[in-house]
Structure 1
Amino acid sequence: MMSTRTNNAIKNISYNIGYQLLMLVLGFVNRTIFLYFLNVEYLGIQAVFKDILTLLSMADLGLITAMTYSFYKPLAEKNETYISGLVHFYKKVCNVIALVIFLGGLGLIPFLKYVVNLKTDLPHLTLYYLLYLLNTVASYIVVYKTTVLVADQKGYITAKYGSIFNILQNIVLCLFLWLTHNFLVYLIIQVFFTYIYNFVVSAIASKEYPYINEKVSLAKDDIRGLFDNIKAVFVYKTSNVLINATDSTLISIIVGTIVVGFYSNYMLVVSKAISLLTTVFNSLTASLGNLIVEEGKAKRYEVFQILQTICSGLSVIVVTLMFFLLQDFIRLWLGKAYLLDTLVLYAIIINLYFSVILLPVWVYREATGLYKQIKYVMLGTAGANLLLSIILGHFIGLPGILFGTVLAKLLTYVWYEPILLFKQFFGHSSRSYFLELLKNIALILVLFLLGSLLSRFLFVTGYLSFICKAFLLLVLSVSCVYIFYRKSTGLRFVKAKFGL
């Protein structure tokens, strides 16, 4: 079982990293061509619509996470009848959610003019929004089947086909942008490929688990238990969306939609880095779910220590590279006109750090069902984020909105969620976790000092000097991480696993 779990985890990580790297390259190519043929206003609209539809998708929040969690035990026990019952139940729920999102999206059309803040009106704004809405609804048509693949540690299958369809989509998108310079055609192509991908992956899930097509009804007590889980995750995930998916909307309303376009260029780089790391850890969720079903607290804590050490090292490297290279990259890639001020960079980097350092806690939360206990704390975070972002945004603009999110996180779940995880699932004090966190921050500050000294002597004037600077910073940060963590459980595990 351990060998199977490890092999599946490695396969999921490998495929998903490959998928994210591919998305990284395609994302930059797509964005470069997009900005070459279309105005930055369209970029701002994209970011605002994405936030609106993420908020609309709160209708499903709790479902997909609870769905995945509910499959772990029956898959481990090979209870095909119960799995079929779950799929049949979730199919009904997904159809209802798709309808709710679509109708809710239609209801927001009259309010678009208050959210999109442009100096000049763009034609076909409502039509653009409707296409984004259809693209969002597409995901819920077959997710009740594809979740079985993910829960059964076979997420690499969806990653493989996701890569194929994204390559085809980006080739077609770039070709038609070049030929037509038309944003409407761009969106229609996106919707087409989203629907095709979903139906193909659905067919694969049906072939892999033929029994899930059988109609099996669950007992009323089972359904009641599933709804209890969905409600708990709904509160948690709703709060999480309010924390992470409101910035672009607030920026559009308070500062302007064009600024959202500038900010989205930074977030394209940062979010791709986060996605790459998140993919690694999320690929472990199904394996951890299996581990939690079958192993005790000692084994859970041992695995957590390994993941936390690895993540601490990665956070140092990623944050250091992003802090010293992000502005240079934007300037080289798009030009000085697209640069934002340094205060914005500080806020982005701090939010990036939280997104990386808390990954092991979050992946355990998904695998253990910890969201049930943390849901109201996250609701408090969401409220604090909205209030602080609006207040600070009015005083200092874009940096204020981003620092509002930082403060809201610091005041709530950044300290509370690790304490709860250690108490509930490890049987250990969380004191050691926070001491390691402080040491990690101290190491980052040391690297910031060393990186600042290095930057004084190395000016980026082109891509060659940028690569040299990036290489030196990488060597410096990796060396410091190795020296600092060389005796840790996580680094010893990695060295033993890869024969280093």
Structure 2
Amino acid sequence: MRTKKTVLNLAYALGSSVLLLILGFVTRRLLVFHFGDDITTASQVVEKLFNFFSVAELGVGSVISYRLYEQIAARDAEKISKYMSMYKWAYRVVGWIICLLAAVGAAALPWIMPQVDRGTAYTVYGLNTLSTLSSYFLVTRRLMYTCTQQGYICTRIDLCFNIATYLAKIAIALWAPNYVLYFGVSIVLNTGANLVIARRFKKDFPYVHDVKVTFQDFKELGIFHDLRYFLVHRLSNTIYGSSDTIVTSRLGGSVQTTNLGNYTTISDSATNIGNKIMDSFAAAIGNIVYDKSATANDHDKKVFWGLDLFSYFFGSFVATAYLCLFQPFMTLWMGAGRLLPLGFVVVFCLNEYVGWNHRMVGSYRAVLGHFEQDQWFMVGSAVTNLALSFLLYRPFGVAGIVAATVVAHCIMWVGRARVVCRQYMKGSGTRYFGIQMIHLVTLALCMVLTYRLCTLLPGGIAGLVLRLVVVCLVPNAVNAACYLWTSDAEYLRFQAGKLLMKLKDWRTAQ
């Protein structure tokens, strides 16, 4: 059943994301060329500022979700209802806190965006405030779908509203270029999606009902203990994910911030697809851990090494694809004048590799809890990111800012892997980090070989298509030759065989 739901989640995720990817590129181009660098920069920076404000959430969603996995496995409807009610009320409190933070944070806008007109900055800021608050008051029911591996239901509903949002933005940019309408339509339609999911929730989970919760309930269940330590993780992740845009806006100006945003728009779109793929496994990992004990048996170890290898396959493919396709695609999409240096692209690729390569380890780490165990790694990651960003910008420009992020990301990765190898995969630390050194060698082989082949190809749309073919074939062929025969790939081979058999049976039934 887990495998079936994982595949179903994956199918819905991929099916919906391709169309949204194309529409996202169209709206980004229209935003840059119809509204200009100042409004584009304002929207990027304000979005990242609200990522910082979201620290007020304290990680309550992650803390309650890993407890919820345990109760779903035990089928304890009473405790499930209690956790969901706690989640709802916690998010309402968080919503009001973010409202207060937004009021205070407005004072920092002129310092962060000195080149942007204040009226424009504050208008975009106000619209983002409304969008963020509507999410916090309505989004809580999605947690149950995620934890029960039914995220495809939310994906299906979101797809309809997201398509409507993109089409409305395209129409506004082309025929009524008003940025208030452009950003405002997202608020209306995102709220609509959450209301539809709320209505569907009552039908899908009739046994989940609102119960009275008190401050004492949070205290007795140890939520505050976990939140105290998870706050460090939340803050560090926020700094890692948002500081590049804010530092670039402060030091580099609107044009460079917009150019950086063009690249991150591509990666964010790809990340959205990747997240859907990886999130399809996340709930299964939570169920695997809490169905048994907090220590892996022989079968669970095979699952872990298989999923970790899958993370490497995914990460090395993404990094190689960005290296070979970023500049040609950017030239066709935004024009050669919007290109950032190749050095930036290389560092950006390394950061993406680090993120995707340890994604499964991060999923295991999230469901294990005990966030105090790697809190100082997270602190070190955040401090390093900020300090190096300002230090490296002057000699290396935006590439230096991203290089600081790579270093910080590696610190975060080591902390997460250390927890998993000590608490769940006991005694596997040396093997894990040894495997990562081998992965770096094959990553370099994939990137260099594929890039060399791509340099032999022509430019234009035809060249981009040929590069895409090379990127799909070469790194995956190299990784398959190096790893698919190993014991770490046993679980992947088994699951691939099961999937092929099911497809064969389905075709026979047709």
The TM-score normalised by the length of structure 2 is 0.92
Matched AA of 1:417: R
Aligned to 1:313: 313
- Structure 2: distance between partners of 1:275 and 1:170: 16
What are the Cα deviations for residues 113-143 of structure 1, in whole angstroms up to 9, with x where unaligned? 111132x626443122100111111111123
Larger mean Cα displacement after TM superposition, 156-165 or 313-322: 313-322
Matched, 1:227 2:228: no
Matched, 1:149 2:145: yes
Aligned to 1:112: 109
Larger mean Cα displacement after TM superposition, 107-116 or 82-91: 82-91
Matched AA of 1:311: S
Aligned to 1:8: 5
- Structure 1: distance between partners of 2:160 and 2:436: 39
- Structure 2: distance between partners of 1:122 and 1:17: 40
Larger mean Cα displacement after TM superposition, 155-164 or 299-308: 299-308
What are the Cα deviations for residues 194-225 of structure 1, in whole angstroms up to 9, with x where unaligned? 21111111121122223433324479366431
Aligned to 1:446: 445
* Percent pairwise identity: 23
Matched AA of 1:497: K
What aligned pairs does 1:176-195 form with structure 2 within 5 A after superposition?
176-195=172-191
What are the Cα deviations for residues 422-481 of structure 1, in whole angstroms up to 9, with x where unaligned? 121012322222222222221122233323432342131x10121012212322222212
- Structure 1: distance between partners of 2:498 and 2:372: 35
Residues 226 and 370, structure 2, Cα contact 8 Å, conserved in 1? no
The runs of 5 or more residues in structure 1 that have no matched partner are: none
Q: May I ask how many residue pairs the two structures share in their alignment?
A: 494
- Structure 2: distance between partners of 1:52 and 1:261: 16
Aligned to 1:22: 19
What aligned pairs does 1:118-157 form with structure 2 within 5 A after superposition?
118=115, 121=117, 123-157=119-153
2:267 to 260, 270, 286: 270
Give the secondary structure class of the aligned counterpart of 1:214: coil
Distance 1:20 1:367, change over 3 A: farther
Matched, 1:303 2:310: no
What are the Cα deviations for residues 206-253 of structure 1, in whole angstroms up to 9, with x where unaligned? 222234333244793664312222222222111111112111001111
Aligned to 1:43: 40
- Structure 2: distance between partners of 1:31 and 1:193: 18
What are the Cα deviations for residues 314-337 of structure 1, in whole angstroms up to 9, with x where unaligned? 222221121011111101111111
Residues 102 and 129, structure 2, Cα contact 8 Å, conserved in 1? yes
Aligned to 2:333: 333
Residues 323 and 451, structure 2, Cα contact 8 Å, conserved in 1? no
Q: CA deviation at 1:144?
A: 2.8
What are the Cα deviations for residues 167-201 of structure 1, in whole angstroms up to 9, with x where unaligned? 11111111122221111111111111121111111
Distance 1:139 1:272, change over 3 A: same
What aligned pairs does 1:96-495 form with structure 2 within 5 A after superposition?
96-118=93-115, 121=117, 123-217=119-213, 220=216, 223-224=219-220, 225-296=222-293, 297-298=296-297, 299-369=299-369, 371-410=371-410, 412-460=411-459, 462-488=460-486, 489-490=488-489, 491-495=492-496
Distance 1:75 1:216, change over 3 A: farther
- Structure 1: distance between partners of 2:246 and 2:384: 16
Matched, 1:497 2:463: no
- Structure 2: distance between partners of 1:223 and 1:416: 27
Give the secondary structure class of the aligned counterpart of 1:306: helix
Distance 1:464 1:356, change over 3 A: same
Matched AA of 2:408: A
Distance 1:76 1:235, change over 3 A: same
Give the secondary structure class of the aligned counterpart of 2:136: coil
Distance 1:335 1:400, change over 3 A: same
Distance 1:453 1:77, change over 3 A: closer
Residues 23 and 166, structure 2, Cα contact 8 Å, conserved in 1? yes
What are the Cα deviations for residues 281-303 of structure 1, in whole angstroms up to 9, with x where unaligned? 22222221111111351233221
Matched AA of 1:390: F
Q: CA deviation at 1:494?
A: 4.3
Matched AA of 2:457: L
- Structure 2: distance between partners of 1:74 and 1:414: 29
Matched AA of 1:380: G
Matched AA of 2:463: S
Matched AA of 2:439: N
The TM-score normalised by the length of structure 1 is 0.94
Matched, 1:88 2:85: yes
Residues 145 and 206, structure 1, Cα contact 8 Å, conserved in 2? no
Instruction: Provide the alpha-carbon RMSD of the alignment.
Output: 2.0
Q: CA deviation at 1:269?
A: 1.3
Matched AA of 1:443: T
Larger mean Cα displacement after TM superposition, 47-56 or 415-424: 415-424
Distance 1:194 1:433, change over 3 A: same
Q: CA deviation at 1:20?
A: 2.9
Residues 233 and 372, structure 1, Cα contact 8 Å, conserved in 2? yes
Distance 1:498 1:436, change over 3 A: same
Q: CA deviation at 1:33?
A: 2.5
Matched AA of 1:420: V
Residues 370 and 421, structure 1, Cα contact 8 Å, conserved in 2? no
Distance 1:146 1:408, change over 3 A: closer
Residues 19 and 163, structure 1, Cα contact 8 Å, conserved in 2? yes
- Structure 2: distance between partners of 1:273 and 1:34: 19
Larger mean Cα displacement after TM superposition, 22-31 or 346-355: 22-31
Q: CA deviation at 1:277?
A: 2.0
Give the secondary structure class of the aligned counterpart of 2:360: helix
Q: CA deviation at 1:370?
A: 5.2
Q: CA deviation at 1:259?
A: 1.1
- Structure 1: distance between partners of 2:233 and 2:473: 39
2:54 to 44, 54, 57: 57
Give the secondary structure class of the aligned counterpart of 1:318: helix
Matched AA of 1:308: D
Q: CA deviation at 1:150?
A: 1.4
- Structure 1: distance between partners of 2:442 and 2:450: 12
